């Protein structure tokens, strides 16, 4: 597997725990991590290597590192359809083995995408998508379009939720709204803050906690001061969202685009009602809980009215299955075995 997840170079990380669970399913797994830092650890039939290097050189080093393992492999899986997809494609051609690409960003869902240089990267992604022996996607919308665009092996496997979210103690505070988001343009947190300002005219007791960080944080904090609502809006920065979700009366995510939107699923697992724009896992959640979906082009007034209403309502949104870590690991192992048996 070709990965960008630098956390996997720490053998005690959550990423490494997932890889160990895959190993425990009978998968012999070599992982080459494309990051600036080097690293290496082994645990039985799981071997992890960090290529190291600068922005460009790390891909070359990663390719060379992977050569040492690929000769005895049954398949290569790339965790994105771009640079990692290129490495997997070149190695699969060199050693005549199968390759898979993974779509963690909803790159094939047909929505406007914020991926850097998307006008170019789109062609790269679609090139590898059509040539891959298998494609995994975490996006229900991508799955629908992929089944039309390609005839090969395509499957949906959502991002798992960490086990501790299933063990959370949900004690919601009245009028408490929480969002968990990177503070970047595609998340539209500025739009959400303006809608929250309008909702305060309906319910003056509302409070908002924003969990996450990003280059827009200073501008967003300035916006709350401009709207004179900084006393009821709290920016906590990058943090474990669980303690904040445990006391939320409502979770809101207003992204323009999501590949999946794991924070919304984490909220639903705890039991928090979810209000989410129509992207990523929104419709999937709507089918399984009483989550509410808003159009991505909804205006601030419409969002304000809906969130003010949902804060007052009682909901039963708790999810109990479909996205547990062990479930998704077992499914991944089964799918890989099936993929190899189908394409031999």
Q: What is the pLDDT of residues 142-174, one digit of tens each?
A: 999 999 999 889 999 999 999 999 999 999 999
Does any domain span residue 54?
Answer: yes
Residue numbers of the domain that contains 62: 2-160+324-343
Q: What is the CATH number of the domain that holds 139?
A: 3.40.50.2000
In this structure, the answer to whether residues 31 and 73 fall within a common structural domain is: yes
Which range is least confidently modeled, 160-169, 190-199, 334-343?
334-343
In the block, residue with structure tokens 């870590």? 325
**Domain tally, the chain:** 2
Contact (Cβ atoms closer than 8 angstroms) between residue 251 and residue 273: yes
Interaxial angle between packed helices 140-149 and 118-131, expressed in degrees from 0 to 180 and rounded to the nearest 10: 60
Torsion angles phi and psi, residue 225, rounded to 5? -70, -40
Contact (Cβ atoms closer than 8 angstroms) between residue 232 and residue 262: no
pLDDT band for position 119 (50/70/90)? confident
Strand partners, 252: 275
Note the pLDDT of residue 316: 64
In this structure, the answer to whether residues 8 and 142 fall within a common structural domain is: yes
Please give the Cα distance from 145 to 128 (Å, whole number): 15
Which range is least confidently modeled, 25-39, 183-197, 313-327?
313-327
Please give the Cα distance from 272 to 178 (Å, whole number): 10
The model's pTM is: 0.91
Rounded alpha-carbon distances, angstroms, from residue 269 to 22, 175, 328, 337: 23, 20, 15, 29
Quick: pLDDT tens for 212-269.
999 999 999 999 999 999 999 999 999 999 999 999 999 999 999 999 999 999 999 9
Please give the Cα distance from 161 to 210 (Å, whole number): 20
In this structure, the answer to whether residues 244 and 298 fall within a common structural domain is: yes
Please give the Cα distance from 27 to 333 (Å, whole number): 7
Mean pLDDT confidence for 49-70:
92
Does any domain span residue 144?
Answer: yes
Mean pLDDT confidence for 61-83:
93
Does any domain span residue 224?
Answer: yes
Number of H helices, E strands in the chain: 13, 14
In this structure, the answer to whether residues 129 and 184 fall within a common structural domain is: no
The closest of 275, 282, 280, 278 to 258, measured between CA atoms, is: 280
pLDDT band for position 307 (50/70/90)? very high
In this structure, the answer to whether residues 130 and 144 fall within a common structural domain is: yes
Contact (Cβ atoms closer than 8 angstroms) between residue 163 and residue 321: no
Note the pLDDT of residue 315: 66
Percent with pLDDT over 70 in the chain? 98
In this structure, the answer to whether residues 208 and 256 fall within a common structural domain is: yes
Helix (H/G/I), strand (E/B), else coil: 19 = helix
Which has more pLDDT, 121 or 200? 200
* H or E stretch at 310: helix 300-312
**DSSP one-letter code for 187:** G
Does any domain span residue 89?
Answer: yes
């Amino acid at each position: 597997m070709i990965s960008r997840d630098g956390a996997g170079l720490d053998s005690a990380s959550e990423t490494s725990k997932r890889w160990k669970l895959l190993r425990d399913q009978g998968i012999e797994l070599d992982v080459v991590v494309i990051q600036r830092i080097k690293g290496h650890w082994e645990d039985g039939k799981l071997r992890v290597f960090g290529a190291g290097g600068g922005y460009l050189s790390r891909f070359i080093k990663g390719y060379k590192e992977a050569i040492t393992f690929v000769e005895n492999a049954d398949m290569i899986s790339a965790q994105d359809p771009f640079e990692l997809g290129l490495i997997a494609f070149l190695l699969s051609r060199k050693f005549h083995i199968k390759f898979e690409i993974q779509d963690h960003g909803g790159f094939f869902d047909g929505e406007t995408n914020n991926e850097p240089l998307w006008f170019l990267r789109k062609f790269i992604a679609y090139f590898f998508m059509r040539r891959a022996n298998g494609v995994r996607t975490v996006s229900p919308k991508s799955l629908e379009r992929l089944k039309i665009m390609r005839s090969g092996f395509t499957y949906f496997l959502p991002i798992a939720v960490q086990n501790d979210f299933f063990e959370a103690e949900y004690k919601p505070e009245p009028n408490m709204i929480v969002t968990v988001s990177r503070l970047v343009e595609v998340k539209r947190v500025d739009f959400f803050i303006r809608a929250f300002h309008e909702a305060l005219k309906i319910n003056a007791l509302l409070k908002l906690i924003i969990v996450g960080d990003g280059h827009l944080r200073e501008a967003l904090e300035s916006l709350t001061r401009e709207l004179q609502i900084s006393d009821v809006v709290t920016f906590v920065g990058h943090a474990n969202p669980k303690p904040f979700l445990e006391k939320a009366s409502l979770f809101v995510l207003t992204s323009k685009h999501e590949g999946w939107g794991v924070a919304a699923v984490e909220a639903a697992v705890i039991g928090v009602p979810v209000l989410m724009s129509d992207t990523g896992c929104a419709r999937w959640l709507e089918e399984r809980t009483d989550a509410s979906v808003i159009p991505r082009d909804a205006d601030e007034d419409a969002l304000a009215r809906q969130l003010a209403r949902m804060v007052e309502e009682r909901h039963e949104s708790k999810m109990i299955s479909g996205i547990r870590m062990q479930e998704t690991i077992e499914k991944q192992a089964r799918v890989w075995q099936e993929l190899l048996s189908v394409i031999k």
